[in-house]
């Protein structure tokens, strides 16, 4: 049994930022999200990696008690190359080699199917749907997406949005999908499709939560040291669902807390390349920054 199922990509990334670069570094939405969730609960991943995927990465996941039963090994690992300039809110994609991701057909292992919490990280919405349909009675489904699917799979993307409890989406993508510059309007349109919660991620500026008649604003955590924002959105989503799965409390109040925990994990993630920073933090570090988050907002 796992506490949260996380569906998404596993990859090896070449990343360059003004603060350094890495090659073939561990990455992918399912990896960042499950690693983030593992601070709160036992996640199980549904993903695909190639035969070239280093064993040490699997060891790393297992050390965090991440269930890898749902990780298929076939072909070559998905590879992504990105460059960040001084405005680190946006990456310039230098290469995308889908490789095994092209053949990815998510198979949710039987041992995962009764899980209450499901995170559909950013992949083709057709695959998100296929994973979702294999779950028996998910209590809380969270999905992420990106501009590519908005441009190429809008219809099926909308049909997946109708089936989830929470949509997590970037500000630019929310504007694009709902054809408005105004985030409040975009959120209303998203809510009208069905989700109870819409969370708009604004990169370093934090995240906004919208639900029926309410909004919640979690500002970004001001970082002295930002090295690599890759995976921040995924680790936000993973921390978010991980905290909800741990507490099993879906009240709006607890959803707000989950957003802050997600933001805390994402803020650590930006402080180093790949999963390096997340590998060095403890539960005490997370609690300390959570408290600081609260203190920096009191008035």
What is the binding site for a second copy (CB under 8 A)?
18, 86-88, 181-185, 202, 205-206, 208, 214-220, 222-226, 253, 256-257, 259-260, 294, 296-299
- 181 vs 192, beta carbon nearer a second copy: 181
- 142 vs 183, beta carbon nearer a second copy: 183
- Decide the pairing of beta strands 207-211 and 214-218: antiparallel
- 131 vs 259, beta carbon nearer a second copy: 259
Q: How far is the CB of 124 from a second copy (least distance, A)?
A: 29
Are the C-beta atoms of residues 47 and 28 closer than 8 Å to each other? yes
Q: How far is the CB of 218 from a second copy (least distance, A)?
A: 8
- 69 vs 89, beta carbon nearer a second copy: 89
Q: How far is the CB of 266 from a second copy (least distance, A)?
A: 15
- 40 vs 112, beta carbon nearer a second copy: 40
CA 152 – CA 128 distance, rounded (Å): 15
Q: If DSSP codes are grouped into helix, strand and coil, which group holds residue 21?
A: strand
Q: How far is the CB of 175 from a second copy (least distance, A)?
A: 8
Contacts of 293 (CB under 8 A, 6+ apart): 218, 221, 260, 263, 264
Q: How far is the CB of 246 from a second copy (least distance, A)?
A: 16
Nearest-5° angle of CA 221, CA 121, CA 179?
80
Handedness of CA 183, 189, 195, 197 (dihedral sign): positive
Inter-CA distances, 31 with 168, 213, 237, Å = 17, 34, 11
Contacts of 9 (CB under 8 A, 6+ apart): 28, 29, 30, 31, 47, 48, 78, 101, 104, 121, 122, 123
- 130 vs 257, beta carbon nearer a second copy: 257
Q: How far is the CB of 187 from a second copy (least distance, A)?
A: 8
Are the C-beta atoms of residues 17 and 84 closer than 8 Å to each other? yes
């Amino acid at each position: 049994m796992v506490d949260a199922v996380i569906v998404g990509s596993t990859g090896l990334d070449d990343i360059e930022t003004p603060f350094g670069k890495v090659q073939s570094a561990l990455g992918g939405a399912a990896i960042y999200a499950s690693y983030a969730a593992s601070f709160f609960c036992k996640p199980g991943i549904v993903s695909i990696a190639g035969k070239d995927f280093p064993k040490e990465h699997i060891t790393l996941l297992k050390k965090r008690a991440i269930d890898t039963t749902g990780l298929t090994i076939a072909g070559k690992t998905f590879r992504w190359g990105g460059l960040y300039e001084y405005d680190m809110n946006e990456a310039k994609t230098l290469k995308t080699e889908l490789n095994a991701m092209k053949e990815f057909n998510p198979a949710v292992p039987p041992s995962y199917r009764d899980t209450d919490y499901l995170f559909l990280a950013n992949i083709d919405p057709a695959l998100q749907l296929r994973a979702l349909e294999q779950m028996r009675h998910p209590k809380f489904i969270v999905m992420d997406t990106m501009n590519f699917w908005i441009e190429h799979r809008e219809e099926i993307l909308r049909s997946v949005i109708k089936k989830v409890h929470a949509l997590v989406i970037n500000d630019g993508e929310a504007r694009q999908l709902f054809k408005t510059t105004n985030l409040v309007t975009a959120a209303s349109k998203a809510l009208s499709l069905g989700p109870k919660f819409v969370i708009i991620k604004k990169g370093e500026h934090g995240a906004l939560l919208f639900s029926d008649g309410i909004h919640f604003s979690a500002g970004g955590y001001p970082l002295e040291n930002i090295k690599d924002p890759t995976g921040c959105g995924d680790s936000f989503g993973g921390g978010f669902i991980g905290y909800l799965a741990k507490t099993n409390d879906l009240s709006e109040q607890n959803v707000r807390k989950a957003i802050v925990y997600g933001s805390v994990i994402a803020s650590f993630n930006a402080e180093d390349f790949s999963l390096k920073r997340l590998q060095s933090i403890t539960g005490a570090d997370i609690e300390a920054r959570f408290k600081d988050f609260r203190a920096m907002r009191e008035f």
